[in-house]
Structure 1
Amino acid sequence: MITDSRTSPALPLSPAEAPAQGHRAGRRSLAVVGVNHALHDGYTDMIYVLLPVWQAEFGLGYVALAVLRSLYAGALAGLQMPAAALADRFGVRAVLTLGTLLGAGGYALAGGSGGLVGLCLALVLSGAGSSTQHPLASAVIARTYGSAARGPLGTYNFTGDLGKAALPPLVGFLLTRADWRPVLWWVAGGGLVVALVVAGLLPREPASRGDTPVKEAAMGGGGRNADPTGFRLLVAIGMLDNAARPAFLIYLPFLLQAKGAGLSLVGIAFALVAVGGALGKAVFGRIGERFGVTRSVILTEAGTAVAILAVVLLPLAPVLVILPLLGLMLNGTSSVLYGTVPELAPGGRVERAFAIFYTWTLGGSALATPLLYGPLGDAVGPGWATMASAATAAAVVPLMLVLSPRLAAPSTQETSTP
């Protein structure tokens, strides 16, 4: 359990007081990492709203736009495990604070950049800052809540979509009234505020935390965490799921503009996706507990593929109606997968398992976008490239059927509340 040495009483706690303090510390940890998650996920998704602006200013093709997005996503993915190693040495709170400052500083630098090279370097810096929050915050929650962690992990994932629902439409609105550079300075200022919140309110962790194995019983792993094949399958599923999402979102603004939408409406459209995604992350964590991981993932991935095809083929008005449902399916899978990481963590090493999971899933997404979906967009247009993202989502289904025998049955999975 994470405690705060600045506020802990000098006298030993009574048996009645200790659980109450632990519960308060857990809720405070969840609230702080949730706010941080909202900021960083908002930083990640507001790039999609900026892509048409950068395309117009720098004369970029779809491959170049995919590279811009992947510079951020690649730094975010590639530094997950180094971030976990830094946290082992300097503590989670210090690394999360530094990461948030870097994320905000990168966007401030982007706002001050005079050309494309400066923008690229700034996106790498901001992505490096955002690499800190996923593995560290997830591990904090998993260790704090133990066997009850699946629900709080779903809540944590839900907060990320709140940021996706808030920042892209805000940026889209501001872009209609100001140049993109001062807009980035304003959102960087918000990141500075969040960094101060993390530094001041996240409880301290024990001095010698390390990456000690979590007991199988505590994490619901049963003996499955001794089977690395199940974890590898989970990572492969996560890679496909994470590749489908940006492959769709990178073309969404261009699809909407072709249907007659302006920048403000594009921002609202991303908010609709994010609102549905937030609901999906909140709901599907519970659905996964009740009906099982396999059924939940097959439902969300098949639903994602169908909804993406509808967005490509239908006119603007029905597309706006579909987007929240698409967001629900598009992001619903992630809560189910994240909650399964502790169950399949090799050797019960949850923090390392989260770092590996995020590295491969986000890294695969960062590489697939410029190497596959970007060239597809230039070759066949955004409509057909978006359909390829639907095929990627559908490809999860057979892998999920292979993983299914290695998972706990729904009746044996523990349920919890955040």
Structure 2
Amino acid sequence: MAILPSSFLSQQQTAAADAETLSKPRRTLAATGLNHALHDGYTDLIYVLLPVWQAEFALSYGLLAVMRGLYSGAMAGLQIPVGRLAERIDGKILLALGTMVAALGYVLAGLSGSVVGLGLALLVSGAGASTQHPLASAAVSRAYGEAARGPLGIYNFSGDLGKAALPALTAMLLVITSWRHALLLVAVAGMLVALCLALLMPAVGKGFAHKSAAATAQGARRGRGGFSWLLAIGILDSAVRMGFLTFLPFLLRDKGASLPTSGVALAMLFIGGATGKFTCGWLGARVGTIRTVLLTEGGTAALILAVLLLPLIPAIIVLPLLGVALNGTSSVLYGTVPELTSPDRTERAFALFYTGTIGSGATAPVLYGLLGDALGPPLATAATAATALAICPLALMLASHLADERRAR
């Protein structure tokens, strides 16, 4: 019997190890992307169900807002505790458990017989969803290391796919079955995604497992002040996006758009937004964070003013490009979080970042709405453009904390 040379066996083992090393990041990105699509779909399908719940439980608009707020409040409020917990428990385990809890919440919602039961179910589901953003972002960041900007953009984009698919699927299910049965089917999908995470996703590791004195000292030097600037940019960027979306339907109406035309216009904006999330992460990796942020925020301000001033048809034509600029900054910012934190604090940093941006997205429409009551929608919309421009000096302040910007100088 022929005996294979040891050198040949060594080459085979090396090739297998290299293939495994390449497959782990891809498996991580695929699993977290699927999970992101599910959770963002879970978040937005509530909008489809609000009219159904209003008819079922005779809810006022105020109570409907409370139902929506229970889910988003639990999701936002628990992200920082989840980030701290991930320093002691493998992020993969927490992601799978969180997805199971989110799905269980929808099971309970489907079984609920009262408003109180429905509210508690949404709290449970929102609590499960709190694991998704900080832990999945940190998992992708760790899997790809310094090359994580582009993959984080893909991860960010995957959420838009879920927002488009799951609410639409739920709306179709409501035509052929009751909302309770539809939620049970949606929950089954969540359980299957949790199973995929448990079986297919590589281990992430605990935050403390990535800690070393040198890495922590380096992260502290890079992150001193830098993360605060990044968080401020993220909060203002989210405020611009949600503030503009608050007024866009009214601007289109005042330009003479019918309801179907407004729907098409919004769809064009969202398509542009999804494209921006996908492309700007890669753009940030190639031309630098600061240049990309200046480009997207400057473009956002200019295009918001264009939508304000142009007639209906040209304004609609501009909307896809505005969507790219409006949403593209977020992918660049997500990709910058790991550079400004030490490796053992990645989950905590993402948790704080997402809490700030989600909280800003919830409060900004209220603040801009009050401004709109006082000054009118056009001037309030112009204020969102001014907010986008206000981000530019903050981006310049951030530049000194980023290694790629220092090298570019």
Does the alignment reach a TM-score above 0.5? Answer: yes
The residue correspondences of 1:258-277 to structure 2 (distance < 5 A) are 259-261=257-259, 266=263, 271-277=267-273
For 1:231, the equivalent position in structure 2 comes to 227
1:327 aligns with 2:326: no
Tell me if the contact between 1:66 and 1:250 (Cα under 8 Å) persists in the aligned partners: no
Question: What amino acid is aligned across from residue 388 of structure 2 in structure 1?
Answer: A
Deviation at 1:249, TM superposition (A): 3.9
For 1:406, the equivalent position in structure 2 comes to 401
Q: For each residue in 1:187-238, what CA deviation from the matched residue of structure 2 results, as whole angstroms up to 9, or x when unmatched? A: 33432332222222212345x6635347989x9x977744421110101111
Deviation at 1:34, TM superposition (A): 0.8
Tell me if the contact between 2:134 and 2:354 (Cα under 8 Å) persists in the aligned partners: yes
Tell me if the contact between 1:32 and 1:202 (Cα under 8 Å) persists in the aligned partners: yes
For 1:60, the equivalent position in structure 2 comes to 61
Tell me if the contact between 2:76 and 2:130 (Cα under 8 Å) persists in the aligned partners: yes
Q: Evaluate the alpha carbon distance shift between residue 292 and residue 168 of structure 1 in structure 2; reply closer, same or farther with a 3 A threshold.
A: same
For 2:352, the equivalent position in structure 1 comes to 356
For 1:212, the equivalent position in structure 2 comes to 210
* TM-score, scaled to structure 1: 0.77
* TM-score, scaled to structure 2: 0.78
Matched residue pairs, number? 394
For 1:393, the equivalent position in structure 2 comes to 388
Deviation at 1:338, TM superposition (A): 1.1
**Aligned-partner Cα distance in 1 for 2:134–2:316:** 33
The residue correspondences of 1:161-200 to structure 2 (distance < 5 A) are 161-171=160-170, 184-200=183-199
Q: Evaluate the alpha carbon distance shift between residue 243 and residue 190 of structure 1 in structure 2; reply closer, same or farther with a 3 A threshold.
A: farther
Q: Evaluate the alpha carbon distance shift between residue 409 and residue 203 of structure 1 in structure 2; reply closer, same or farther with a 3 A threshold.
A: closer
**Aligned-partner Cα distance in 2 for 1:260–1:114:** 38
Q: For each residue in 1:11-65, what CA deviation from the matched residue of structure 2 results, as whole angstroms up to 9, or x when unmatched? A: 9x9333222212112211111111001111223344456667778974426xx77
Q: Evaluate the alpha carbon distance shift between residue 113 and residue 348 of structure 1 in structure 2; reply closer, same or farther with a 3 A threshold.
A: closer
Question: What amino acid is aligned across from residue 362 of structure 1 in structure 2?
Answer: I
Tell me if the contact between 1:228 and 1:346 (Cα under 8 Å) persists in the aligned partners: no
- SS of the equivalent of 1:204 reads coil
Q: Evaluate the alpha carbon distance shift between residue 105 and residue 348 of structure 1 in structure 2; reply closer, same or farther with a 3 A threshold.
A: closer
Identical positions, percent: 55
Structure 1 residue runs of 5 or longer lacking an equivalent are 1-10, 414-418
Deviation at 1:115, TM superposition (A): 6.1
Q: Which moved more, 1:230-239 or 1:395-404?
A: 395-404
Q: For each residue in 1:307-350, what CA deviation from the matched residue of structure 2 results, as whole angstroms up to 9, or x when unmatched? A: 44555676776565444323212220011111111111157732
For 1:282, the equivalent position in structure 2 comes to 278
Q: Evaluate the alpha carbon distance shift between residue 192 and residue 383 of structure 1 in structure 2; reply closer, same or farther with a 3 A threshold.
A: farther
**Aligned-partner Cα distance in 2 for 1:214–1:281:** 33
Question: What amino acid is aligned across from residue 247 of structure 1 in structure 2?
Answer: G
- SS of the equivalent of 1:406 reads coil
**Aligned-partner Cα distance in 1 for 2:235–2:147:** 26
**Aligned-partner Cα distance in 1 for 2:24–2:160:** 24
**Aligned-partner Cα distance in 1 for 2:394–2:183:** 40
Which protein is richer in helix relative to its size? 2
Tell me if the contact between 2:219 and 2:343 (Cα under 8 Å) persists in the aligned partners: no
Tell me if the contact between 2:41 and 2:163 (Cα under 8 Å) persists in the aligned partners: yes
The residue correspondences of 1:296-311 to structure 2 (distance < 5 A) are 296-308=292-304
For 2:5, the equivalent position in structure 1 comes to none
How big is the alpha-carbon RMSD for the aligned residues of Structure 1 and Structure 2?
4.0
Tell me if the contact between 1:277 and 1:332 (Cα under 8 Å) persists in the aligned partners: yes
For 1:6, the equivalent position in structure 2 comes to none
Q: Which moved more, 1:379-388 or 1:85-94?
A: 379-388
Q: Evaluate the alpha carbon distance shift between residue 213 and residue 320 of structure 1 in structure 2; reply closer, same or farther with a 3 A threshold.
A: farther
Tell me if the contact between 2:242 and 2:364 (Cα under 8 Å) persists in the aligned partners: no
Deviation at 1:98, TM superposition (A): 1.9
- SS of the equivalent of 2:259 reads coil
**Aligned-partner Cα distance in 1 for 2:156–2:394:** 23
1:336 aligns with 2:339: no
**Aligned-partner Cα distance in 1 for 2:25–2:141:** 10
Larger RCO (CA within 8 A; separation ≥ 6): 1
Q: Evaluate the alpha carbon distance shift between residue 120 and residue 397 of structure 1 in structure 2; reply closer, same or farther with a 3 A threshold.
A: farther
Question: What amino acid is aligned across from residue 30 of structure 1 in structure 2?
Answer: L
Q: Which moved more, 1:354-363 or 1:66-75?
A: 66-75
For 1:8, the equivalent position in structure 2 comes to none
For 1:106, the equivalent position in structure 2 comes to 105
**Aligned-partner Cα distance in 1 for 2:375–2:172:** 31
For 1:416, the equivalent position in structure 2 comes to none
1:124 aligns with 2:129: no
